[in-house]
Amino acid sequence: MNTRIRITLLALSTALLSIGANAQTFPTRPMRILVPLAPGGGADSVTRNLAASFSEAFAQTVVVDNRPGAGSLVALQTLADAAPDGHTLMMITGTTVIYPLLYPSKLDPVRDFAPVSQVTAQGYVLVAHPTLPVKTATDLVKYAKANPEKLTYASSGIGSPIHMTTELFQIATGTKMTHVPYKGMGAAYADLVGGRISFSFATIISAQQHIKAGRLRALGVSMGKRAPAMPETPTMAEAGIPGVVVVNWYGLIAPKAVPKPIIARIATETTKAVKAPAMEKHLIADGSEGVGSTPAEFTVHIKAESERWKRVIKQSGIKAQ
């Protein structure tokens, strides 16, 4: 029996040493980061900057592979089919977590994959068309209560983070507005700037040009603190709307069976990348900030986000369409 125990322990220690050695030599070939959205958006921009940092840190080519469709399911399936060796990763967004709460999905970002690290955090800015007789977020609430369901708001689709944020806003303020979903915020902006849509939550990077040009009016940001890119714009709480703190985010996941030492190494390099001065400057200009977290911390974050939006879906009665 003692001999068997010694053999088992020897085999285990050999396996652990092998995994550790693999983490030190990782990667052994070019890496790939999947993005569940089309090129040109915020997630794509952050991923490309991170890929450049990884390429330098790992001394390997890092390719960004855009796989949009089905609320991240297309990219998730590609990741699930990839070899579990850390060479294929995926940048997920809030949509990746929300989608399975509304639509049938055989893949779950925590259950079926290995969370690596939260990469960024970024808030939304509440914007309204200048012809709307409101100058603050509380003005918008008063106007909405006086004109129930007459105000329209845009989103990038049912169940999108912008849709969910506006539903939370309505729950917190006791208002009811009409949702107009689009296939993307690019099309939504045309109607928003044209005055055919009353207001919307929007990413800071996409809204800034319209705010500066006077085509849209900024009423508040959704984070718990003011955005460095828009220091003059109050938070929702400062604007008199408590209970609406929403932080959008991007983060990396990997196939489930990737060895933990490799996951840990990628997480460490992620934190180094987003905290580098050049990357920090780029993120601040986009209305974001670098986070960098451990795999355990990111797992907790994803689960908390899932539970939060599950409650909003139940309270608001959102139905998949």
Please give the Cα distance from 184 to 40 (Å, whole number).
12
| Counted domains in the chain | 2
Confirm whether 259 is domain-assigned: yes
Q: Cα 259 to the chain's mean position, in Å? A: 25
* Overall size of the chain counted in residues: 321
Confidence tier at 5 by pLDDT (50, 70, 90): low
Among candidates 107, 20, 119, which has minimal Cα distance to 72?
107
Are 291 and 50 a contacting pair, CB within 8 Å? Answer: no
Among candidates 240, 294, 286, 243, which has minimal Cα distance to 266?
294
Q: Are residues 128 and 189 in the same domain?
A: yes
In CATH, what number is assigned to the domain containing residue 304? 3.40.190.150
179-203: pLDDT as tens digits: 999 987 888 999 999 999 999 999 9
Confirm whether 34 is domain-assigned: yes
Q: For residue 140, which phi and psi values (nearest 5 degrees)? A: -65, -40
| 282 has pLDDT over 60 | yes
Q: Are residues 81 and 144 in the same domain?
A: no
Mean pLDDT (the chain) is 91
Q: Are residues 45 and 184 in the same domain?
A: no
Q: What is the pLDDT of residue 21?
A: 45
Greatest CA separation for the chain? 83
11-23: pLDDT as tens digits: 555 545 444 546 7
User: Which DSSP symbol is given to 71?
Assistant: G
Confirm whether 130 is domain-assigned: yes
Please compute the mean of the pLDDT values over residues 83-98 and round it to a whole number.
Answer: 96
Give me the domain span that covers residue 196: 123-221
Q: CA 198, 136, 150 angle in degrees (round to 5)? A: 30
